[in-house]
Structure 1
C-alpha cells in the first residue's frame, strides 16, 4: 500500500493500514524545505526527515492501537508492534514516473493520494494509472463533480488497458473521497444531538444514539441494533469520552444480545434510521430568490399602510352615507380625491367639501409611505444575494466558526437537517461564503477572538457552538469565551493534535461537568474511510464510539466465505461485524455509492423524483445469503480486515472462546 501526502491524514492513514490491516506501507512525502542540508536518499533511510516521519507514524500508531483496543477484540498476534519493518518513507519533490516507480507503484495493490492540492492528486493519479492499470486508486478531492468525472475517466482507462477486468473490480478501481465530506456528518451531529454518530445510506440518515443505563424495571428500546456498550456508567456518566488512555473500562463494540442483557449500569449506543428530507425551501418565499415575503416590508411600514387604508375606507363610507351615492361610486370618488385628480368641490355641500379636503390630506400622507415601501422592497431584493445578519430574537441555533473546507460541508449538512445556523468567518472571500449567501444563512464577518463578534452571533442564546477554524488556539479561545458567556453551551472543537484534544476535553469536562464538550479531529474521523476504500470496499461512513471507530460498509456477498451461504443469524460475529441491511435492488440496478441519496429516474429531465430506498433493514434471521446479494454491515476495523481476508484476526465469540 502506498500513501502519498504530508499532513495528519497521510500519517494516520499509513498507521491505519499498518496497525489495523497489517499491510506493507510506503509513505511518500515531499523533502524538507531546507536547502542548506544535502539531499537524502529517496528511500529515506538516512537521518533527518525520514526518521522523524517514522517517529510521527509510530506515535500515531500507538494512539490508534490504544483507540482500537476493546474488551471483545484482543490484539492481533500476526501484526508486529514495531512500524519500522513495514513502513518505508520515500522522499520525492514531485510525483512523477521516477518517484512512483521508486515507491513501487507497479507492484502495489493500492495508492492513496491525500495531498491538500487537488491538482497534485489528479496528476499523480493519471500517472499511476498509466504505470499500473490494475492499481486501486483512492484520491482526496474536494470538488465532488470533478471527482465523479475523474472516477469515470480512470476506470475507463483501466478497462481499456485490461479488457478482462470485470465490473465488480472496476467499481473498486478508483474511489474519490473528501476528508471534509467524511467528517461533516459527524461534526454536524455533534452540534445537533451531542453525538457525531451519523452515517447516510440509501437516502436515510443512520443515527447512533447514546442512551443512559435503563432504570430498574425499564426495558430499553434496542432500535435497529445495539452497536456498543459505553464505558460510561451510572457512577461516571461521562465515561472515557475524549480520552483513550484514561484507564477506565473500554467500550464493547458490536456486542451480542446476551452481553447487552448482562451489562448493568452501562450506557449503550443504539442505531436508529431517520428519513432524509433534503433542502426543500419553506413556503412563502419569492420564486428563485429565497426572500421571505415578510422581509419585504417592515412592521412599522405595514402598520402605516394599514392605517392609511383604514382612513380611506372610512372616507368612502362617509361619502356614501352623506351623498347617498352607490357604494362603488362613492369609493371611486374618494380615490379620485385621494390622488388629487378630481374636480374641486366648489359650490357643493359642506360635507362634500370637508370629505374632499380630508381625502387630499390622506393622499399627501400616502406619498411618503409609498416612497418608503418602494425603497424598502428594492433594498430587500438587492440584499437577497448578500449576507444576512442574525435576526433579532434568534435562539436555539448553532454558531458555526469557520467556513473553510470542513465548515462549508458542515454548514450544508446542518441546513439539510433544517437546523438554524449563524456563521462566523474572518475572511469575506472564504470558500463557504457563497454557500452561506445562497442558503440565506446569517453570517458575521469578523475575528472570533475580537470582542463583540460572538455576541453579534447571539452566542448567549445559542444551543451549540462548532469551532472549526484551522487554528487550534482560536477554537479553544472561542470555546472558553462561549462557556464564560453561557456555561451550559454545547461545544465541539476541531483540534489537530490528539494529546492536546484530550487535555482540553478533560479540563473543560472538569470545569463544566454539566455541559457537553467534544473534541474532534478531521483526520481521525476520515482515516478509517480512506483505509477501507484502499482495501477495496465501499465505505459508507465511520461512527466514533468514544475514541474508537465503527465502520459502515456495503459489501458484495460473493467471494466472502464468512458470509456466503450463511444465515443472517450465523453471519454475526460479536465484537467484529454485524449485518444491518440487505440491498433488494437487482445487481444491474444497484448504485455503486450507497452513501448518496437516491437519484431521480428522469435521465436529466429535472423532475426531482427520487427512487425509493431499496435497503431492507428488518432482516429475517433465517435468510441464507446468496452470492448475488449485497449487504450493509457495521464492523470494527479489525473485523473488516478479517472479512477482507487480508489477515486472520482473532476475536472472542459468543461462547467466550477466542476464535
Structure 2
C-alpha cells in the first residue's frame, strides 16, 4: 500500500476552512494535545495562567495561532480566543474545578462547542454529559493504566479490551516449527470469524507501523512475526450461544469438522486449569461426580437383579448404602424381598454393596471435611485481616501504588495475573488485602522479592527520576526481567528508551494526548493500547450524512484509510457483528468500531484516502452456472453495479473496469476460484477509466 501523502486522494473539498480548536492549560498534556491537533491540520489557540517554563514540545509557539495569558474561566479571555468560532475546547489544566467552571463558561458563549475535559469525577462527568450535551471527560491516569497493565503482561500480549461483553486481545506471536500454521497456512487463512491479522513480517527486527502492510498469499514460516486480534475462547462460546440463527447445516458442519468436540475439550481444560487454583474445589468436584456415578450405577444394578423392586426403592436403597447403611439394609430391609432371600444374594452383589458403603463413607466424609474447612476458613477470614500469599513465579512486581498503580493492579487482577505490590508509603485500607504487599524502602523491598522468578517489573511512581533509578536497580538484580517505566516527558522517554533498550518506556502525557485529540474531533475512544512504538485507539463511529465513511465498503474503509474494522451494527436494534466482512457497505445510522492510529484518524478526518492500484482480470469459467454466481460475487466484493459484473462475465476474457485495493482484489480472485472462475491480478492502468 502506498505510504506517502502524495498518494492520497482527497474526498473533501480542499477549500474547506480549517477547524479551530482551543486548548486551556499548557502543561505536559496540553502541549502534546496542541502538537497532535496540528498534525490533523487544525488551527489551535491556547490559554494558560502563565507562559510555560518547560517546553516539552519544541517550537510550540510556532504551532499556535495565538497564546493568551489569563484565566480560562473568564468570559473576556474566552472571547479573545475566538470561542464562538471554535469547534472544540480542550480543558486540560491540572485543576478539575477550573476545568469544569471553564466548561460552563464556554458552553454559555458557544452552545455548539464540543467540550473535552480532564476530570476524574465519573459520576459528575456522566451527569454533565447528559445535561450539557457534546461533553466528554477523561482522566489521564485511567487512560495510561491500561497501557501499563498490558505492558506488564509482556510476552505475546499487546492489548486487551472489551466490546459488547466480548473480551478481545491483541497478540504478537512468533511462528514456531511446531505451530499448526507453520509451512501450511497462508497469512490470509488466519482470518476467521473471531480473528483478524493486523500485521505480518518475516523479519523480526522490522515490523511495519501501519495496518495491512502484509502479503495475504505469503506462507507462514518459522520465525515469522504475526500480530492478530482475536476474541478470547470463553467469550467466543458465549457469542455462539447468543446467536439466534444457527441452522442444521452449520451444526452438521461443526460436528463433521470436529469443532464441537474441540471447543468442548478447550472449555473443560480451561475450567480444570482455573479450578487448579482452588484445590479443595477440585477435590470436591471429583468426589461429587464419583458419588453421583455410583448412585446411578447402583440403582440400575439393583433394579435389574430384583425386578419386583421399583426404581424408586432401588434409588433410595443405593443412597442408604452410600451413606453407610449396609447393616441396616441387609438387617431386614431388603428391596421388598423376604429376609431369607438376602442370604441367597449372589456373592458378587453383596460384595458390590459392601464396596458401595466403603467408597461412599470415604467420599462423603471428604465432602463433609471440605465443607467444614470452608466454613471455618471463611469465619477466620472474616474476623482476621487476610494477607494474600506471595506468588512463587511468573508474577508481576508493581512498584508505586498511587492512583495509577492501584488502577494497574485492578486491571491485572481482572486478567488473572499474579502480582506483588511495593510501596514506600501507606496505601488505602481497602487495597491492603487484595494483593501481597511490601511497604517500606523500595531498595530493601526489591531484596525481599525473588526478581529472577518475576514476569515483569512495572515502575509507576510519581517521579520520573525515581522510576528510572528503581528500574536500573531491578535490572542489575535480574537482567532478563522485562521492565516497564512510567514517565511524563516525551523526550525524556525517547532518550531512556534508546539508552536502555531492555526497558519499555511509556509517557503518560503522550498516550493521553492522542485520546484527547481524537475525542476533540467527535470520536468516541473506547480503549487504547500500544502496537510496538505506536499508540492504537479503539474508536467508535456513528455514520452521519456527509461523513467521509458514508457509503463506503468496509474494504475501502480498511485499506483506504489504514484501519481495522472490528465491529459493525446496522442499527441500535440490530445484532452486532464482530470482525465484519469487507463487502459490508456503510450507511447513515450505522455504527462502526475500528482499530486506528493517529495517522489513520487524521486521514479519515481530512478524507484523504489511499488510491486503488490493482485490477482483476477474469479469463474463463469452468462451468456454465459460474457465470451467474461469479457476477454476483464480483458485484458484492468490488461494489460495482450488477450490470457491470454481468457484462464482464458474459464477455470473457475481460477485466473489471474499476480498481481495487490489493487485499480486496486477492480476496475476489480467491472467491472466484472457488466458483470455478479463473482470474488474476494486474496493476491498474489509469487510462482505462
1:534 to partner: Cα distance: 0.6
Residue 228 of structure 2 corresponds to 270
Q: Distance in 2 between matches of 1:132 and 1:203?
A: 37
Paired position in structure 1 for 2:479: 487
Query: Aligned pair in 2 of structure 1 residues 618, 391: CA closer, same or farther (>3 Å)?
Result: closer
1:276–1:126 CA distance, 2 compared to 1 (3 A): farther
Provide closer, same or farther for how the CA distance between residues 405 and 393 of structure 1 changes in structure 2, counting only shifts above 3 A: closer
Aligned residue number for residue 504 of structure 2: 518
The residue aligned with 1:400 is: 398
Q: Describe the superposition over 1:454-505 as per-residue Cα deviations: whole angstroms up to 9, x where unpaired.
A: 2334434322111011112221222222222222212111122333333333
Q: Provide the secondary structure at the position in 1 that maps to 2:417.
A: coil
**Aligned partners of 2:210 and 2:437: how far apart in 1?**
40
Query: Superposition RMSD on alpha carbons, in Å?
Result: 3.7
Shift of 1:651: 6.9
Q: 2:30, 2:127 → 1: CA distance?
A: 24
Report if the CA contact (8 A) 1:579-1:633 is conserved: yes
Cα distance in 1, alignment partners of residues 169 and 81 from structure 2: 40
Distance 2:378 2:175 in 1: 56
Q: Report if aligned partners of 2:118, 2:138 keep a CA contact under 8 Å in 1.
A: yes
- What SS does the corresponding residue of 1:261 show, helix, strand or coil? coil
> In 2, distance between residues paired with 1:409 and 1:658?
54
Select the residue among 567, 573, 585 that pairs with 1:624: 585
Distance 1:274 1:144, change over 3 A: farther
Instruction: Give the counterpart of 1:446 among 437, 440, 444.
Output: 440
Distance 1:87 1:545, change over 3 A: farther
Is the contact between residue 17 and residue 23 of structure 1 (CA under 8 Å) also seen in structure 2? yes
CA deviation map 1:622-650 (0-9, x unaligned): 33323221111123323323323x46466
SS for the counterpart of 2:83 is: coil
Q: What does residue 550 of structure 1 align with?
A: 536
1:212 is aligned to 174
2:28 aligns to what?
A: 8
From 233, 249, 254, the equivalent of 2:211 is 254
- Correspondence 1:58-137 to 2 at 5 A: 58=58, 84=62, 86-93=64-71, 95-137=73-115
* 8 A contact 2:56–2:490 mirrored in 1: no
Q: Go from structure 1 to structure 2 and tell me whether the alpha carbon gap of 1:10 and 1:204 turns closer, same or farther (over 3 Å shift).
A: farther
How far apart, in 1, do the equivalents of 2:232 and 2:158 lie?
15
Q: Does 1:413 align with 2:374?
A: no
How far does the alpha carbon of each residue in 1:329-349 deviate from its partner, in whole angstroms, 9 at most, with x for none?
A: xxxxxxxxxxxxxxxxxxxxx
CA distance in 2, matches of 1:508, 1:549: 20
Residues 260-290 of structure 1: per-residue CA shift (max 9 Å, x gap): 739997633211223788xxxxx9xxxxxxx
1:189-208 correspondence runs (5 A): 189-194=150-155, 195-208=157-170
- For residues 4-55 of structure 1, give each alpha carbon's deviation from its aligned partner in whole angstroms, at most 9, with x where no partner exists: 1232211111110011x110111222215xxxxxxxxxxxxxxxx5xx67x6
Contact kept, 8 Å, 1:213 with 1:268, in 2: the verdict is yes
Q: Which residue is 1:154 aligned to?
A: 132
Counterpart of 1:532 (choices 496, 518, 536) is 518
Whether the aligned pair in 1 keeps the contact of 2:391 and 2:419 (CA below 8 Å) is: no
Please tell me whether the aligned partners of residues 15 and 58 of structure 1 are also in contact (alpha carbons under 8 angstroms).
no
Quickly say closer, same or farther: Cα 1:488–1:97, change in 2 above 3 A. same
Residue 130 and residue 93 in structure 1: after superposition, are their counterparts in 2 closer, same or farther (change >3 A)? closer
Give unpaired runs (5+ residues) of structure 1. 33-48, 61-82, 156-172, 240-249, 278-282, 284-291, 295-374, 510-515, 591-613
Alignment of 1:291-370 (within 5 A): none
TM-score by length of structure 2 reads 0.59
SS at match of 1:142: coil
Corresponding position of 2:118: 140
Q: Which residue of 2 aligns with 1:339?
A: none
1:187 is aligned to: 148
* Secondary structure of the corresponding residue to residue 270 of structure 1: strand
Q: 1 CA distance for matches of 2:394 and 2:79?
A: 55
Matched residue of 1:463: which SS? strand
Please point out which of 194, 203, 207 is paired with 1:233: 203
Paired residues of 1:638 and 1:649 also in contact (CA < 8 A): no
CA deviations over 1:531-590 (Å, ceiling 9, x no partner): 111101212223322222333211122325543333333433256223222125x43x69
Per the alignment, in what secondary structure is the counterpart of residue 28 of structure 1? strand
Partner Cα separation in structure 2 for residue 622 and residue 651 of structure 1: 18
Alignment correspondent of 1:505: 497
Provide the aligned length of Structure 1 versus Structure 2.
454
Q: Which moved more, 1:94-103 or 1:218-227?
A: 218-227
Distance 2:611 2:535 in 1: 17
SS of the aligned residue for 2:494 comes to helix
1:127 counterpart SS class: helix
- Whether the aligned pair in 2 keeps the contact of 1:180 and 1:406 (CA below 8 Å) is yes
**Matches of 2:429 and 2:218 in 1, distance apart?**
51
Unaligned runs of 5+ in 2: 1-20, 236-270, 272-277, 281-375, 614-660, 663-682
CA spacing shift, 1:527–1:213, aligned 2, 3 Å: farther
Deviates more, 1:255-264 or 1:459-468: 255-264
Alignment CA distance shift 1:228-1:100 (3 Å): farther
Cα distance change on mapping 1:260 and 1:556 into 2, 3 Å: farther
TM-score, normalization by structure 1: 0.61
Q: 1:30 aligns with which of 25, 39, 49?
A: 49
Alpha carbons 2:209, 2:534 under 8 Å: kept: no
Q: Is the 1:188–1:413 contact (alpha carbons within 8 Å) kept by the matching residues of 2?
A: yes
Deviation of residue 413 (structure 1)? 0.8
Higher relative contact order (CA 8 A, sep 6+): 1
Structure 1: distance between partners of 2:378 and 2:214: 62
C-alpha contact 2:519 2:525 (8 A) present in aligned 1:
yes
Distance, in Å, in 2 between the alignment partners of 1:637 and 1:652 is 22
Contact 2:99 2:118 in 1 (8 A): yes
Is contact 2:390-2:436 (8 Å) kept? no
Change (3 A) 1:176 1:561: closer
Task: Say which SS state the counterpart of residue 26 (structure 2) adopts.
Answer: coil
Whole-Å Cα distance in 2 between the matches of residues 398 and 500 of structure 1? 25
Question: CA 1:476 to 1:275, structure 2 compared with 1: closer, same or farther past 3 Å?
Answer: farther
